[in-house]
Amino acid sequence: MKLIKCVIWDLDHTLWEGVLSEDDKVELKEGIKDIIIELDSRGILHSIASKNNYTDAINQLKVFSMDQYFLYPQISWDAKSYGVSEIQKKLNIGMDTILFIDDQLFELDEVKSVHSEITCMNALEYKALLDNPRLVPEFITEDSKRRRFMYLEDMDRQEAERSYQGPHDKFLSSLNMRFTITEAKEEDLKRAEELTIRTNQLNSTGKCYGYEELMMYLKSSTHKLYVCELTDKYGSYGKIGIALVEVNETQWLIKLLLMSCRVMSRGVGTILLSYIMKQAKQEGKRLLADFRVTERNKMMHVTYVFSNFQEISNDGEGNIIFENDLSIIQDYPKYVDVKTTQNT
């Protein structure tokens, strides 16, 4: 089962005891704040889908000093399935990585009837959350710990984009983005593993790589493991992409190309690929790329095709080998400062 990326909470009789619109006072359920803080430290996001008055509910969360933990809260009188859908779209994660918690069976059934991939849990079971294996990542990286803050920074970016008057590329230029590509070091491997587990849409093979396997490639003289980070004037997006390349005397073979979906709107998705193409051409090597069709990585297939990769092998079962003749290499976007470093 996939790891849970976000827990969506109901409020009345779920996060707190009582009904906000009816009771004089509501109290947080025992230990629930500590649970949310601990999950947050593991990189698990939180949100709310609740039938309540928005202002009253947010004010009550502020009383409990908890409002900052919930991203894109959907508090209204609409169906909770609609609220869940809005949260999923704003976070840009798979519905199968969301856990919805409510005290009412009707609400759980309603959400499940609309979103069959979601996981639902009765609020009575909340004390078991910290031991749920889907909420216990194998590694907790610095990017994990900052995940909520990175989303908050992205909200600032989105607000700036909405209010910006002018062409989109001018807005991107105003962000002062820096895209840094480095050969991986040992301290990058936990995040690299996490990316292979969490990223589905922009993963060229859908394969997950464990820490030990990545360490083997890191030490290999016939492989290159790249990681990249994106920053702008609002902060760091964290390590958002990796590439694993198998090299020999005549060719480079891209075994894995992966980019976080969070940066899709920033126009940086092809920078790492262009860098690899430039390096292969500089060394006079043939460039190939493995690709495996999954349910969700169509966009990565489009990325390869638009970057002038041609199919040279297709077994009819979703396993494709691309080749690029390196005659056309897309320049880096002018609105991004691209920095590259290599280990010595």
**For the chain, what are the domain ranges?**
6-135, 142-341
At residue 343, the pLDDT reads 53
Average pLDDT over residues 56-70: 96
CATH of 142-341, one of 3.30.230.10, 3.40.630.30, 1.10.10.10, 3.40.50.10190: 3.40.630.30
Non-local CB neighbours of 293 within 8 Å, separated by 6+ positions: 301, 318, 319, 320
pLDDT tens-place string over residues 73-111: 999 999 999 999 999 999 988 999 999 999 999 999 999
Q: What does DSSP assign to residue 67?
A: G
Instruction: Assess whether pLDDT exceeds 90 at residue 29.
Output: yes
Per-residue pLDDT reduced to its tens digit, 320-338: 999 999 999 999 999 999 9
The number of C-alpha atoms within 13 Å of 83 and in the hemisphere containing its C-beta is: 27
- Cβ neighbourhood burial of 271 (10 Å; 0-12, 13-18, 19+): buried
CATH of 6-135, one of 3.40.50.1000, 3.40.50.300, 1.10.3720.10, 3.20.20.100: 3.40.50.1000
| Whole-structure pTM value | 0.75
Task: Specify the pairing of strand 177-183 against strand 119-122.
Answer: unpaired
